[in-house]
Amino acid sequence: MDGATDAGDGLYAEFSLTPDCPIAKLTERHEVVAFTPGRGERANPQFVFAAEEVPADPLVEPVVGAEETVVCRVCGDGPPAGCDQGRCLSWDPTRLPVAPFGVRLRSGTLRLSVAATDGEELRATMSSLDDEGFDAAPERVGGAAEAATDRLEVVNLSPVTDRQRELAAAAAHQGYFSPDGPSAAALAEEFDIAPGTLSEHLRTVQAKLFQQIFNCNKNR
């Protein structure tokens, strides 16, 4: 396709956030089938609820009904009172440095799927989320080409320390995990640590992530 970029050059990340916000709490009270975020002042967020009647909730008003579902939108001209985020991501996620291509909100959890052209864009998005009080560590990260084929696994990176991430990333980039990659001694010398210490850090990272990957339930 003319003008298309190589998807393998980009990065994909998925963030799972738990905003202390009335809009998010709404999804804890009612079963949500689908969610469409707002667009600033142009449109309010909309929900498709698994119900035959409009949920008895002052936060929403009906738009249209269908068989066993009802479409509602958030009332008002902006984020409702009690939303402690300065600018509600449910209301306008496009204001992030990289606008998410996927936004889901169910059971109080907001999930954002982001495709960035490089690490700098992804870090800027993480920094923006951090500034608003969210834990911005992505649950899912990898190349954009991998995301397109849904071959990534969801992992929680929070148990891995910053130092462990740094060492594991350096080991991966330098081919340490390949049969002909550098030795532990060579990599440890670069970081001025003992080879045994490096190996212990890498084993810890592998143990924490592999346990999540191979014990998770996948509906495939």
Domain count across the chain: 2
For 191, the domain range is 162-215
Sign, Cα dihedral of 122, 128, 130, 135? negative
Q: Does 1 reside within a domain?
A: no
> What does the pLDDT profile of the chain (220 residues) look like in tens digits?
233 333 445 788 888 888 888 888 888 888 888 888 887 677 888 888 887 777 788 888 888 766 678 888 888 877 777 775 556 788 888 888 888 888 888 888 888 888 888 888 888 888 888 887 787 777 777 765 544 444 445 456 677 888 888 888 888 878 787 767 788 888 888 889 998 999 898 888 888 777 665 554 444 3
Q: What are 79's two structure tokens?
A: 């984020």
Q: Does 155 reside within a domain?
A: no
Does residue 190 share a domain with residue 91?
no
Angle between helices 162-173 and 195-215 (to 10 degrees): 90
Q: Does 157 reside within a domain?
A: no
